[in-house]
């Protein structure tokens, strides 16, 4: 898959990779349907991990629900296989040792955002790569909710349009600008978990 290779090449060269047509419309529609089925389970997201966990509405105000393989046919037929292929290539090309992953759906209602942050926790560095797949078919300029990635040299802006996927090193600072419409996505982290002995 060329899109997967492009993503990995981008990550290897620049610390981030973007594909504007990673999933087609029928796939993102099917993911969105699953999200709608799970919407009643969505909860306000928090920040930090374990003893550092807190709910902090002034930092982020999206709602999330976690998803796992073997829960939904449409995720198992298209989402997880594509991500597994990405993980294989990342491990082969970049020696990241990804051995675990976690994903959630996210919903931003109008007026919500996620202020500038890093995804790697200060008390747990197992999150290596952040992945965001967007599900917003009719997104247009002015709808807001762009992702800003702050790399060493420049700010990269990603429009949250259906089909687009972005991957980046989880230590990079980034921000979700205020969304003026409902904004849907699948966010995940590819992890290198050390063996506990
Ligand atoms: C996150 C995040 C980016 C996005 O959930 O940690 O930064 O574009 N999401 O939704
Ligand atoms: Ni983030």
Q: Output the pLDDT for position 53.
A: 67
Q: How many CB atoms lie within 10 A of CB 41?
A: 11
Ligand 1 atom closest to the CA of 183, numbered from 1: 10
Q: Output the pLDDT for position 64.
A: 96
Q: Output the pLDDT for position 7.
A: 97
pTM of the predicted model as reported, rounded to 2 decimal places = 0.94
Q: Output the pLDDT for position 195.
A: 76
Ligand 1 atom closest to the CA of 64, numbered from 1: 5
Give the DSSP letter string of 134-189: E-BTT--TTSB-PEEEE-SS-EEEE--BTT-EEEEETTSEEEEPPBSS-EEEEEEE
- The pair of three-digit structure tokens given for residue 184, joined into one six-digit string: 């849907």
Q: Cβ neighbours of residue 5 under 8 Å, at least 6 residues apart? A: 89
Q: Say if residue 162's pLDDT is above 90.
A: yes
pLDDT-above-70 percentage for the chain: 96
Q: Output the pLDDT for position 59.
A: 84
Whether ligand 1 lies within 6 angstroms of the CB of 156 is answered as no
Q: What is the mean pLDDT of residues 34-50?
A: 88
CA of 197 to the centre of ligand 1 (A): 32
Q: Say if residue 55's pLDDT is above 70.
A: no
Q: Give the mutation target among 114, 150, 185 for probing the ligand 1 site: most ligand atoms within 8 A of CB.
A: 114
Q: Give the mutation target among 45, 164, 185 for probing the ligand 1 site: most ligand atoms within 8 A of CB.
A: 185
Domain chopping of the chain, boundaries: 2-191
Ligand 1 atom closest to the CA of 145, numbered from 1: 8
> 145-172 in b/e burial notation, b at 16+ Cβ within 10 A?
bbbebeeeeeebebbbbbbbbbbbbbeb
Quote the mean pLDDT of the chain.
93
CA separation for the pair 10, 168 (Å, rounded):
9
The lowest-confidence range among 50-59, 83-92, 128-137 is 50-59
CA separation for the pair 144, 158 (Å, rounded):
11
Q: What is the pLDDT of residues 171-180, one digit of tens each?
A: 999 999 999 9
Strands (E), the chain: 16-19, 43-44, 63-67, 100-108, 114-117, 127-134, 147-150, 155-158, 165-169, 173-176, 183-191
CATH architecture of 2-191: Sandwich (2.60)
- The pair of three-digit structure tokens given for residue 83, joined into one six-digit string: 């991500």
Q: Output the pLDDT for position 57.
A: 73
Q: Say if residue 54's pLDDT is above 90.
A: no
**At which residue do the structure tokens 């002995």 appear?**
197
Ligand nearest to the CA of 45: 1
CA of 96 to the centre of ligand 1 (A): 21
Q: Say if residue 99's pLDDT is above 80.
A: yes
């Amino acid at each position: 898959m060329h899109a997967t290779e492009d993503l990995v090449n981008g990550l290897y060269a620049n610390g981030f990779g973007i594909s504007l047509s990673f999933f087609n419309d029928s796939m993102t529609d099917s993911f969105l349907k699953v999200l709608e089925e799970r919407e009643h389970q969505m909860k306000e997201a928090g920040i930090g991990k374990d003893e550092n966990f807190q709910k902090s509405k002034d930092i982020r105000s999206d709602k999330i629900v976690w998803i796992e393989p073997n829960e939904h046919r449409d995720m198992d037929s298209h989402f997880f296989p594509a991500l597994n292929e990405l993980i294989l290539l990342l491990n082969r090309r970049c020696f990241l040792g990804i051995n675990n992953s976690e994903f959630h759906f996210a919903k931003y209602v109008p007026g919500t955002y996620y202020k500038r942050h890093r995804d790697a926790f200060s008390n747990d560095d197992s999150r290596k790569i952040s992945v965001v797949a967007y599900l917003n078919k009719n997104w247009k300029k002015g709808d807001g909710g762009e992702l800003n990635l702050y790399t060493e040299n420049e700010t990269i802006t990603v429009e949250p349009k259906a089909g687009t996927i972005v991957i980046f090193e989880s230590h990079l600072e980034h921000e979700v600008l205020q969304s003026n419409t409902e904004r849907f996505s699948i966010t995940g982290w590819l992890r290198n978990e050390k063996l506990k002995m």
